[in-house]
Amino acid sequence: MTSSLIESGFPVSSSAEAARRPVIFCDFDGTITENDNIIAIIRRFNPEGWEQIAQDTIDQRKSIKQGVGEMFRLLPAALKDEVIDYSISNAVIRAGFQELLDYCKAENIEFFVTSGGIDFFVYPLLSRFGIPEDHIYCNSSDFSGENIEIVWPHSCDEECPNGQCGMCKTAVIRRFAADKHDRILIGDSVTDFEGAKLADLVFSRSHLTTKCRELGLPHVEFTTFHDVVASLKERQQLQKAGERP
């Protein structure tokens, strides 16, 4: 783990704040998995023009909804079986994920997967972990036409500053009132940028770390979920001592 809670600058909170119920919102692509599954799929089938769309999305010149939709629309729906098989066989779950789930269960911490990924790989890859389906938020897919279409069942609410997230993580987070919940975000990329602004604690890697630095948001960098569990345990000890970051 590259930084501790204290080193990351999280402020000390009152005992009343410490009594809020913790809830975790965890990204999937590039966070639960080692690789970004969407980019891996598009790179594997390599349709013309995808690189510029991907870069425009990362650089926020295109919305996530627009960029992801455009990339998948470059792929014929006839590739359905190959796309699904590749997305599942190519993915690697990040070390320590089961430990994190076990820790959450032991400490009664509610755990949600908030993913900008797609149903055809998110649900199969998570099936062995026993996460309730209503605790998994992701986008859907439609292979019925000529090209692959992404469907967006979890749209932005009226408070979302973007309005075109696709799977709006901030809308999910806002369902858990800040005065009653200790909101913890774990993520890595552009789909997590706005959520990080709402969270009480951010675990970051890759593009999200860069964005947190740009915005001056306190964050804890991680490599594996073992790092996350170690930080959560440290935080729990500080809470008990009345010094919660």
Structure confidence by residue, pLDDT tens digits, 142-188? 999 999 999 999 999 999 988 889 999 999 999 999 999 999 999 99
Exposure string (b/e) for 81-115, b if CB count within 10 Å is 16 or more? Answer: eebbebbeeebeebebbeebbebbeeeebebbbbb
**Any idea what DSSP says for residue 167?**
S
Residue 35's contacts (CB-CB under 8 Å, 6 or more residues apart) are 29, 90, 91, 92
Per-residue model confidence (pLDDT) at position 152: 97
Q: Is the pLDDT of residue 2 over 60?
A: no
Closest alpha carbon to 195 in 176, 177, 225, 172: 172
End-to-end CA distance of the chain: 17
Average pLDDT over residues 53-69: 94
What is the model's pTM?
A: 0.90
CA–CA dist 10, 245 (Å, integer): 5
CA–CA dist 94, 3 (Å, integer): 19
Listed by start position, the domains of the chain span 15-240
CA–CA dist 25, 228 (Å, integer): 13
- Tell which wins on pLDDT, 244 or 243: 243
Average pLDDT over residues 35-39: 94
Structure confidence by residue, pLDDT tens digits, 194-243? 999 999 999 999 999 999 999 999 999 999 999 999 999 999 888 888 75
How many other C-beta atoms lie within 10 A of the C-beta of residue 225?
A: 24
Average pLDDT over residues 12-23: 69
% residues pLDDT > 90 (the chain) = 83
**Any idea what DSSP says for residue 121?**
H
Q: Is the pLDDT of residue 6 over 90?
A: no
Measured CA to CA in angstroms, residue 74 lies from 3, 144, 194 at distances of 40, 15, 27
Kindly report the average pLDDT of the chain as a whole number. Answer: 92
Q: Is the pLDDT of residue 57 over 70?
A: yes
Q: CATH: 3.40.50.1820, 3.40.50.620, 3.30.450.20, 3.40.50.1000. Which one for 15-240?
A: 3.40.50.1000
% residues pLDDT > 70 (the chain) = 91
